[in-house]
């Protein structure tokens, strides 16, 4: 199913001063697992918010197959198919972990009993099964990230976008996250944003590099690695390739 955006213009208006983020941006994501790379401020989070239809472009279209979130009648169907875990996931006071994950599923149009039943497998997948009954407010930063991922997984979206899921995680948690994402990618197309090439592992099929509001690279992971010298470790080559793309501007 084709998923992406076409000729999108988007700007923020803090106190009447327009800050343009995208000016006619087009990108279409391939099926499989995609890593969205870009420096801080490149527009990765905004792109994901647009792709999730949490914000609407001033011009242009976001699409998932034939579905357009700008058409009100298609919005719910679009959102059922596209999941998004923003950078910051807050606990909802009064809910425990399972209730919050189930609520996220209900918000994505799942019947409440289905959402309740689907919550536990999603929680198990992110390794929070032991904390399912704990108030979500009581989770640590890393656990909170995993809660967010469980909330993204629960409704079994066809495309799942995770915005900087590894930020703030320790090395062990990062490793766990990699495993989780590898499993997730088996059921849904995955788009993961990061500014850190250390997050790049062999599990990604495609790479998109975003900088200065435009796409600098889009291709397979293999093509991306080809941009760097062949000598050195994979992570050093990824960093070199990324640097060459970002510094072009």
Partner 1 sequence: MRAKTLWTSSPSLYLLPILALLGWYLTTALEPPGFDGFPGVTSHVAASLPFAILPAAATAAWDIGRLRQSGLLRTAPARNRLRVLAQMTLPGWACGLWTVAVMLTAAMRMADDPFDSFNLAPLVVSLAVLSAWTLVGAAAGAYLPPVAAAPAAAIGGYVLYSGSAALTDPKWRHLTGYSWSECCTVDQQPDPTLIWASLPLALAFALAAILVLSDLGRFWTRGLGAVAAVATAGAIAFPAASGLGYIPVVARDDDDLTCETSRVEVCVWPESRELLPLAVQTADQIASELEPYEVDLSNGFRQGNRAVPGQWRFVIREDFNADLMRKSMISALQPSSTHCDDPQDRFYAMQILSTAWIQVVLAEVTPDEAADDFRLGPDQKSALEDLLSQPAADQGAWFDSAAAELAECPGTGSAEERQR
The Cα 192–Cα 7 span in angstroms is 22
Nearest alpha carbon to residue 22 among 13, 34, 12, 9? 9
Nearest alpha carbon to residue 168 among 139, 188, 190? 139
Minimum distance from residue 201 beta carbon to partner 1 (Å) = 26
HSE-CB for 237 with a 13 A CA cutoff? 16
Q: Which stretch binds partner 1 (CB under 8 A): 14-22, 78-86, 219-227, 241-249?
A: 78-86
Q: In this complex, which beta carbon is closest to partner 1, that of residue 11 or of residue 214?
A: 11
Give ∠ CA 120-121-123 in degrees, rounded to 5.
65
Minimum distance from residue 87 beta carbon to partner 1 (Å) = 10
Residues 171-200 that bind partner 1 (CB under 8 A): none
Would you call 87 exposed, middle or buried from its count of C-beta atoms within 10 A (0-12, 13-18, 19+)? Answer: middle
Q: Which of 27, 36, 42, 104 binds partner 1 (CB under 8 A)?
A: 104
Q: In this complex, which beta carbon is closest to partner 1, that of residue 190 or of residue 211?
A: 190
The Cα 146–Cα 178 span in angstroms is 12
Q: Which stretch binds partner 1 (CB under 8 A): 26-34, 73-81, 180-188, 197-205?
A: 73-81
Q: Estimate the share of the chain in helix, then strand, then coil, as percent rounded to the nearest 5.
A: 40, 25, 35
Spell out, one character per residue from 105 to 144, where the chain touches partner 1: x when CB under 8 A holds, - when not.
-xxxx--x---x----------------------------
- List residues near partner 1 by CB under 8 A: 52-54, 69, 75-77, 79-80, 82, 84-86, 88-95, 99-100, 102-104, 106-109, 112, 116, 151
């Amino acid at each position: 199913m084709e998923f992406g955006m076409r000729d999108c213009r988007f700007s923020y208006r803090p106190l009447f001063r327009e800050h343009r983020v995208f000016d006619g941006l087009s990108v279409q994501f391939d099926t499989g697992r995609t890593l969205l790379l870009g420096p801080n401020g490149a527009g990765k989070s905004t792109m994901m918010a647009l792709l999730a239809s949490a914000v609407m472009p001033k011009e242009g279209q976001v699409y998932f197959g034939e579905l357009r979130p700008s058409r009100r009648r298609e919005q719910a169907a679009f959102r059922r198919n596209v999941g998004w875990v923003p950078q910051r996931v807050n606990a909802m006071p009064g809910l425990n972990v399972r209730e919050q994950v189930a609520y996220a599923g209900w918000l994505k149009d799942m019947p409440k009993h289905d959402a309740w039943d689907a919550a536990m497998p999603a929680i198990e997948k992110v390794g929070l099964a032991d904390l399912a009954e704990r108030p979500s407010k009581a989770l640590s930063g890393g656990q909170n990230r995993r809660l967010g991922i469980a909330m993204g997984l629960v409704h079994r979206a066809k495309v799942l976008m995770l915005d900087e899921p590894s930020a703030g995680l320790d090395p062990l948690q990062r490793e766990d996250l990699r495993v989780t994402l590898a499993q997730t990618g088996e059921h849904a197309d995955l788009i993961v944003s990061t500014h850190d090439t250390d997050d790049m592992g062999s599990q990604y099929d495609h790479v998109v590099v975003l900088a200065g509001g435009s796409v600098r690279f889009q291709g397979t992971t293999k093509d991306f690695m080809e941009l760097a010298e062949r000598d050195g470790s994979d992570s050093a080559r990824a960093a070199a390739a990324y640097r060459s793309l970002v510094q072009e501007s």
